[in-house]
Amino acid sequence: MPINSFENYPMTWKPKLDNRKPPIYKTLAMLLEEDIKRGNLNPGDKLPPQRELADFLDLNLSTITRAFKLCEEKGLICAKVGKGTFISSDVNVSNTLLYQTESKDIIELGTVHPPYEQNTYIIDFIKNVLKQPEMDRFLRYMSPSGTYMQKKSIAKWIERNNVYTSEENILLSTGGQNAICATLLGLFKAGDRIATDSLSFSGIKSIAKMIGIQLVPIPQENNEISIEYLESYCKNENIKGIYLIPDYHNPTTHTMSDLSRKKIAKIAKQYNIIIIEDAINSIFRDGIQTPIFSLASDNTIYIFSTSKFLCAGLRVAFVVAPKRYIENLENALYNMNLMVSPFTAEIVHRLLYSPIIDKIIEEKRDAIIERNEVADKVLSDYNLIGDKNCSFRWLLLPDELDGKSFEISAKNLGVQVYCAERFSVGNSTVPKAVRICVTAPKDVEELEKRA
C-alpha cells in the first residue's frame, strides 16, 4: 500500500503491483506494456511524474527510473525535457511494411517497390554470366566483405554520387536494412540515443526497438530537421548518432538543402557524432547534391543500396565508412550474415560496369516519372507532395481526417497506403498524411486502371 492516500488523487496510471519479487523494475515495465496492449494507456497519454509513481507504489525512485528507461529502450514511451513522459505516438502501429502474402484483392500503394519491368534485362544478363567458367568460384565461401576487385570498382562507380573513397573503406551488406542494422549493432549499444527526423524510415524504428536504442525525434523547420534543435540535443542530450535520408526523405519526399547538410556535418564533427546517411533514393534525382559523407567523411557511415535502382531481389548494398569503424562494422556484418552471397555480389559488380546499367536506370527513372504524371492527374484536387523522380508521394489529408483512420478506410475499400503514424518517432506530433507508392503496381496501365 502507498504511504500516502491516492484514492482521490488524479493519476493517469495507477498500476497494481501484486508481484514484488525482484527485479521489480522489470515487472513494472511489463505492466506498462500490458496496459498499452489492453488500451488502458493510449498514444500521447502522459504518465505520472516518477516521484509520484514511486510514492504511490512505495518504491524507490531509482526503481521507477529503471522501469521507465527499459520502456524507453523498447520504444513504448518518450520523455520530453520539461514536459514529462508520454506513451509513444507510434506504439500501436506496426513497423513492418513488407508482408509474406499478397492479395489480388488489394491495390498495393503502400510498400515502396521499384519498377520491375527492367528485371528481364537482369535475367538475360545473369544467364550470360553463368556461362563464364570462372563463375564457379562465386558459388563457394569467399571473403565476407567482398573481393578486392569488387570493392575497387564500387569505389569508382559511386563517384556518380559525389562520394570519393577507396576500396579499404567499403563493405558489402545484404541490402540497406541489413547495413543499418549492422551499423547500429556494431557502433552503438543498448540505451544509446540516435537523433532522427520526427518522421523517419520505419526500418530503423524496428531495428532500434529490437536492439534497445532510443530514437530521439528532432523538431522540423522548413520541412527538414531543425539545425538549432539538433545542435542543442547533441550538446545537452547525450546524442551518439544521427540517422538521415537527405534525398527524397522517407516518407515526406523532402530533399535536404545544401546549407543544412553543411551545418549537420559541422555539428557531427564538433560533438563527435556518428552520421548514418541513407542514400537509398539519391540516384534518381535530377542532379546529385552534395552527400553529407563528403562534408564529414570521418564521422559518416554512407549506405547506398542497389535495391531500388538495380534489382530488389539481389539484396546488395554498399557501406562506406571511416577506417576507425571498419573493423566493428565487419564484425557486425559477419555475425549477422557470415558473408554477402558471393554470387549476387559478383552479379551486381558486373552489372555496374555493363552497357545495360545506364539503360536500366534511365528506364526506371522514366517509369517513375510516368507514374507520377498519373498520380498528379488523379489527385490534382488534393495536396500531393513529392518530386516527379520520387517513387513515393506524401498526401496531406483534410483536417477532418487522420492518417491512421484513412489507412484503415482505404484498406477496407481494397487500397493499401501507409499512414504517417507508421513513421512517427517517439511522441512527435503526427501530421494528417499518408504515403503513397506510385511504383508499387506492376506497370503504369495497372496504376491507371486502379486509380
Give DSSP secondary structure letters for 144-170: TT--HHHHHHHHHHGGGGT----GGGE
The whole-number pLDDT of residue 94 equals 66
Q: Give the helix/strand (H/E) hosting 196.
A: strand 193-197
What count of other Cβ atoms lies within 10 Å of the Cβ of residue 44?
14
CB 154 within 8 A of CB 306: no
The least confident of 117-131, 237-251, 342-356, 433-447 is 433-447
pLDDT at 451 over 90: no
Tell me which of 448 and 223 has the higher pLDDT.
223
Domains identified in the chain and CATH numbers: 24-87 (1.10.10.10), 107-117+357-450 (3.90.1150.10), 133-354 (3.40.640.10)
Give the chain's end-to-end CA distance (angstroms, integer): 60
pLDDT at 5 over 60: no
The whole-number pLDDT of residue 450 equals 58
> CA nearest 324: which of 356, 289, 298, 357?
298
Task: State phi, psi for 215 to the nearest 5 degrees.
Answer: -85, 130
Cell of 150: 569488387
The whole-number pLDDT of residue 103 equals 60
Q: What is the mean pLDDT of residues 24-40?
A: 91
pLDDT at 102 over 60: no
> CA nearest 176: which of 94, 273, 73, 282?
282
Place of cell 498528379: 376
The whole-number pLDDT of residue 100 equals 43
CB 328 within 8 A of CB 186: yes
Q: What is the mean pLDDT of residues 108-133?
A: 94
pLDDT in tens, 259-303: 999 999 999 999 999 999 999 999 999 888 899 999 999 999 999
pLDDT at 170 over 70: yes
d(CA 255, CA 295): 17
pLDDT at 1 over 50: no
pLDDT at 216 over 90: yes
> CA nearest 117: which of 431, 316, 370?
370
pLDDT band (50, 70, 90) for residue 158? very high
pLDDT band (50, 70, 90) for residue 322? very high
The pLDDT > 70 percentage for the chain reads: 95
Tell me which of 229 and 143 has the higher pLDDT.
229
Pairing state of beta strands 170-173 and 317-320? antiparallel
pLDDT at 236 over 70: yes
pLDDT at 306 over 80: yes
pLDDT at 101 over 50: no
Task: State phi, psi for 371 to the nearest 5 degrees.
Answer: -70, -35
pLDDT band (50, 70, 90) for residue 381? very high
The whole-number pLDDT of residue 96 equals 61
pLDDT band (50, 70, 90) for residue 221? very high
The most confident of 31-35, 96-100, 121-125, 437-441, by mean pLDDT: 121-125
Mean residue pLDDT across the chain: 91
The whole-number pLDDT of residue 21 equals 79
Taking the model in full, what pTM does it have?
0.85
Tell me which of 7 and 431 has the higher pLDDT.
431
d(CA 13, CA 87): 11
Task: State phi, psi for 279 to the nearest 5 degrees.
Answer: -100, 30
pLDDT in tens, 385-432: 999 999 999 999 999 999 999 999 999 988 999 999 999 998 888 999
The whole-number pLDDT of residue 18 equals 82
pLDDT at 175 over 60: yes
The pLDDT > 90 percentage for the chain reads: 73
pLDDT at 254 over 80: yes
Tell me which of 82 and 375 has the higher pLDDT.
375
The whole-number pLDDT of residue 90 equals 77
pLDDT band (50, 70, 90) for residue 88? confident
